[in-house]
Amino acid sequence: MYTHQLLILLFIGYIVYTIDIKKKFFPVPVVLVAIGMGLSFIPYFEGFNISKDIIFNVFLPAILFTSAYQFPLKQLKKNAGIIITLSTLGMIATVFLLGLSIYLAGMMFTALSFTAAFLLAAILAPTDPVSVTTILKESSGAEQIADVVEGESMINDGTSIVFFTIFLTMFQTGGGFSIGKFISELLLVSIGGILLGVAIGWLMSKTIRYTKDKKYQVMLSVVGAYGAFYIGEAIGVSGVLATVAAGVFVSYEMSKEIKEDTLKKSLDGFWDIATPVLLAVLFLLIGIRGADYLAFSGWWFAIIVFVLSIIVRYIVIGIFVYGVPAWRHEFKNDFSTITLTAWSGIKGAMSVALLLWLEEAASGKDEILISLSFAIILLSLVIQSVGIYPLSKVLKNLQ
C-alpha cells in the first residue's frame, strides 16, 4: 500500500461519513464499496489492493474487539442461548443446506463440484452487521433482533473459518469429509480461542490498574486486541474468538470491578475513531478489488445463489425460533423477527477475507468460483443493506 493513496481513501471516507445524511437508505458501507469500484478504473489506484493477510492482521482484530467490548452485557446474557445456537448449530445447518442448494442449482449453469459448492457456502455463511444494527434500532425499534444479529456475527466469524479450512483442504486434495475430525477441530479451535481470550482479557483487566494515565490504558487495549488475535493464530486456535472473548471480558471487568467511568470514556474515545477509519478504508478496498472480478458471465447464477442464501437463512432461523418454545414465546411477532434476522445476515469483511484466502490458495485457478463469490458478496452488501430500512418499516406497519 502507498501512503498517499491511503491518505486519499481516508479523506474519501471522511467525506462519506460527513455528508451521507441518507444513510438510512444508503448505508455508509454501500456508498464506500460503490466509490471503491469507481476508483478501480482510475490508473492512479492500479495495484492498490487488499489481501487476506491485511484483512486478518490489520482490520479484523480492531473491529472485532470494539464490537465485543462495546456489546451490552445485559443483552449478551439475555440472548446468549440463541446467539450461540445460531453461531454453531445454525452455521452447520446453513452451510449444509446452502452448499446442497448451490450444488443442485449449479447443474443448470456451471459444473461446480460438490466440494466447491460447500466451499462457496462456507464463504457466504458468516454475517457482518456493520451499520444494519443501528438502522434496525432506529427504524423499527427492533433492539433485540439487532443485538442477536450483532452477537451472532461476532461468534460465527470464528466458526466460519473452521468450516472454510476443512472444505478448502478437501477442495485442494480431493479428500473426503470426516465428521469426527470436523467436530474435534471445531471444539479445539473454538474452546481454545475462548479460553485464550478470557486469559488475555483477565490479564488486561489486572494490568490496566497499574497506571492511571488513560493514554497508556488505551495503548494496552490495542496490545490486547491484536495480541489475542496473533497469539491465537500462532498456537492454532481461533484468533477471532480469542479477540471477541478478550473484549467481552474487559467489558465485564469494567462494569463490575473497574469503577472509573473515565476509563470506558477513554477507550470509547479511541476505538470510536479507529473503527470508522478502518471500516472506511476496508470497504473502499473491497470495492477496488471486487471490480476486477465482475466482468464474468455467471451473473444469473450469482443472483440465484444470493436468493438461496437468504431463503436458507430464513429457514434455519425459523426452525430455531419456532422449534424452541422459550424463543417462540419471547419474540412477539415470529414472522417479523425471522424476516428481519434473515435479511440482516449481510456478507461482509469475513466473507471477503475467506474469498481472498481461496484466491491465494488457488494460485489463479478457479476464477469462476472466485468471481461468483465476489458477485454474491457485493449483491448482499448492496441489496440487503439498502433494503433493511424499508423492510423494517413495512414489517413494523404490518404489526
Quote the CA–CA distance of 298 and 294 in Å, as a whole number. Answer: 9
Listing DSSP states for 110-122 in one string gives ----HHHHHHHHH
Q: Give pLDDT tens digits along the chain (399 positions).
A: 577 888 999 999 999 888 765 555 567 888 888 899 999 888 888 777 788 888 889 998 998 898 888 887 787 788 888 888 888 888 889 999 999 999 998 888 777 788 888 899 999 998 887 656 666 655 555 567 777 878 888 888 888 888 888 888 877 776 666 677 777 877 888 899 999 999 999 998 888 777 777 888 889 889 999 999 999 999 989 898 999 999 988 888 777 655 555 677 788 888 888 888 998 899 998 888 888 777 777 888 999 999 999 999 999 988 887 777 777 676 655 677 788 888 888 888 888 889 888 888 876 556 788 888 999 998 998 888 888 878 877 777 766
Contact 346, 391 (CB under 8 A): no
Which residues, 6+ apart, have CB-to-CB distance to 39 below 8 Å? 45, 284, 287, 288
Contact 10, 280 (CB under 8 A): yes
Instruction: Quote the radius of gyration of the chain (alpha carbons, Å).
Output: 20
pTM, 2 dp = 0.86
Burial level of 182, CB count in 10 A (0-12/13-18/19+)? middle
Quote the CA–CA distance of 378 and 381 in Å, as a whole number. Answer: 5
- Write down the residue that cell numbers 469426527 correspond to: 180
Quote the CA–CA distance of 399 and 395 in Å, as a whole number. Answer: 7
Burial level of 79, CB count in 10 A (0-12/13-18/19+)? buried
